[in-house]
Amino acid sequence: MTAIGQESPVIPVSSVDLNQYTGLWYEITKIPNRFQKQCAFGTTAEYSLLPDGKIQVINRCRQSQDEEDSIKGVA
């Protein structure tokens, strides 16, 4: 049995409190992608608010017990 329905429209929020977004986020599951092929476990994203209002993100993952991979960006 299948059902066909209409999706609800996406309604954006009027504002985002970036302080609520900052901190360390843990990946609990993922869809395979080319830029995380080497990641075996321990994937995190750490967000911090910069003085100019931008967000810094540091993505990390473990390739093995001894090897960590990371990349830093600003949005």
pLDDT tens per residue across all 75 residues of the chain: 556 778 889 999 999 888 898 999 999 988 888 878 888 888 999 999 999 999 999 999 998 888 888 999 999
Residue 4 forms part of a structural domain: no
Q: What is the pLDDT of residue 38?
A: 84
Residue 66 forms part of a structural domain: yes
**Sheet containing 68-74: which strands, arranged edge to edge?**
23-26, 41-49, 55-62, 68-74
Q: What is the pLDDT of residue 1?
A: 55
User: Is the Cβ–Cβ distance between 12 and 32 less than 8 Å?
Assistant: no
Residue 39 forms part of a structural domain: yes
User: Which range marks the domain in which residue 35 is found?
Assistant: 18-74
The pTM assigned to this predicted structure is 0.72
Residue 33 forms part of a structural domain: yes
**Domain count of the chain?**
1
Q: Are strands 55-62 and 41-49 parallel, antiparallel or unpaired?
A: antiparallel
Q: What is the pLDDT of residue 50?
A: 95
Q: What is the pLDDT of residue 40?
A: 85
Residue 65 forms part of a structural domain: yes
